[in-house]
Amino acid sequence: MLRKDLMQLRAVFCAVVAFAISASCFAQASQPSAPAPQAPQAAPATPGEPQFPPVQQANFTAAAPTKEDVEGFLHTSWGYDANRVWEVFAIQKTAAPGVSKVVVLVAEKQNPQQIANLTFFVTPDGKHLISQESILDFGAHPYTENNRLLQQQADGPSRGAAPKQFELVEFADFQCPHCKEAEPIAEKLIQDFPQAHYVFETFPLVNIHPAAYKAAAWGTCVAQQGGSTAFFKYADSVFAAQNDLNGQGADQALRNAATGAGADADKVAACVNTPAAKATVDSAIHLAQELNVAETPTLFIDGRAVPMMAVPYDQLKKIVEWQFSLDK
């Protein structure tokens, strides 16, 4: 159970570069990083009381980050899960000047006998951590910069509340099967969080989805004609006819979706190839790249990136509730 949970957690914790499930931030529970924690001579743990190895002051050889810095980061990242407990076990100097190694032990209250190990490195400026191939923002408020960028530049079609204090921004590709599957998830989030400003940003993965860019451009032009309401009708139609985007039927499918959204399909077709339409799609792609989005669908919750299909809805809802509570 712990390992499965940590794989899901890894998808959230590491979801900045590629959100790939195969990448792991966690070492095997049976192979903790040095200094190896030694099991204490104590009675077996009972549910809710994990027996972490004793923390030795000798394990804290780096001046930064402080234990409080690490605790703040973990509290922001993991505080949504009341079942998870952790211990900052070590913060050590490394051979690289200013780079510190952090070791955190993690357990579940429901299964406290199994203790997993998270190891990462913090950069000299204290602003980033490195775990295997992933580089993430670090600090007590690690999502602030992403949130600022999204509030300023995520100007795609929107739904929900007008204010951007609580913002959900989804990056999606019209030809991506998982994005189609994520539609009901986005709809449920909008219903469950009426205070949220939801934004749809197109991110066509053109290397694998040849019709995605054109679908994004058509959506841009539909939105120019009919606003966000027309765009979301168009998006529903495109996802419903997603199989038609493969091959020669793509143009007709997009035309049908535009017409179904109440737009003038001929005017939309003329708009699609204009520099303005291309600039709008390219701007959304650039924003996604600046945020290190490499997989769709990706949801940003006040700047916190989460792979929408990697976590169950109940857990996703907890993350949204938690992040919104921190940003009140």
Q: What is the pLDDT of residues 189-223, one digit of tens each?
A: 999 999 999 999 999 999 999 999 999 999 999 99
| DSSP string for residues in 25-80 | SEE-TTSPPSSPPPPPS-PPP-TT---PPPPPGGGB--SSS-HHHHHHHHHHHHTT
Question: Does 33 score more than 50 pLDDT?
Answer: no
> Which pLDDT band, with edges at 50, 70 and 90, does 269 fall under?
very high
> Which pLDDT band, with edges at 50, 70 and 90, does 48 fall under?
low
Average pLDDT in the chain: 87
Instruction: Report CA 179 to chain centroid distance, whole Å.
Output: 14
How far is 163 from 152, CA to CA, in rounded Å? 12
Question: Does 19 score more than 90 pLDDT?
Answer: no
> Which pLDDT band, with edges at 50, 70 and 90, does 47 fall under?
low
The arithmetic mean of pLDDT across residues 126-139, rounded, is: 92
Two tokens, residue 143: 């999502």
Q: Which domains does the chain have, with CATH numbers?
A: 2-140 (no CATH), 145-326 (3.40.30.10)
* Range with lowest mean pLDDT among 25-39, 121-135, 207-221: 25-39
Q: Which residues contact 100 (CB under 8 A, 6 or more apart)?
A: 62, 64, 65, 91, 92, 93, 94, 121, 122
> Which pLDDT band, with edges at 50, 70 and 90, does 249 fall under?
confident
* Range with lowest mean pLDDT among 18-22, 58-62, 168-172, 203-207: 18-22
* Range with lowest mean pLDDT among 28-37, 138-147, 243-252: 28-37
How far is 264 from 98, CA to CA, in rounded Å? 59
For residue 245, the 8-state DSSP code is G
Amino acid 134: pLDDT? 86
The arithmetic mean of pLDDT across residues 262-279, rounded, is: 97
Q: How many CB atoms lie within 10 A of CB 237?
A: 19
The arithmetic mean of pLDDT across residues 258-265, rounded, is: 97
How far is 138 from 128, CA to CA, in rounded Å? 5
Question: Does 31 score more than 80 pLDDT?
Answer: no
Question: Does 293 score more than 50 pLDDT?
Answer: yes
Higher pLDDT, 7 or 251: 251
Question: Does 133 score more than 90 pLDDT?
Answer: no
Amino acid 294: pLDDT? 84
Question: Does 94 score more than 50 pLDDT?
Answer: yes
> Which pLDDT band, with edges at 50, 70 and 90, does 46 fall under?
low
Q: How many CB atoms lie within 10 A of CB 94?
A: 13
Amino acid 318: pLDDT? 97
Question: Does 37 score more than 90 pLDDT?
Answer: no
Q: What is the pLDDT of residues 151-198, one digit of tens each?
A: 999 999 999 999 999 999 999 999 999 999 999 999 999 999 999 999
> Which pLDDT band, with edges at 50, 70 and 90, does 261 fall under?
very high
Q: What is the pLDDT of residues 220-243, one digit of tens each?
A: 999 999 999 999 999 999 999 999
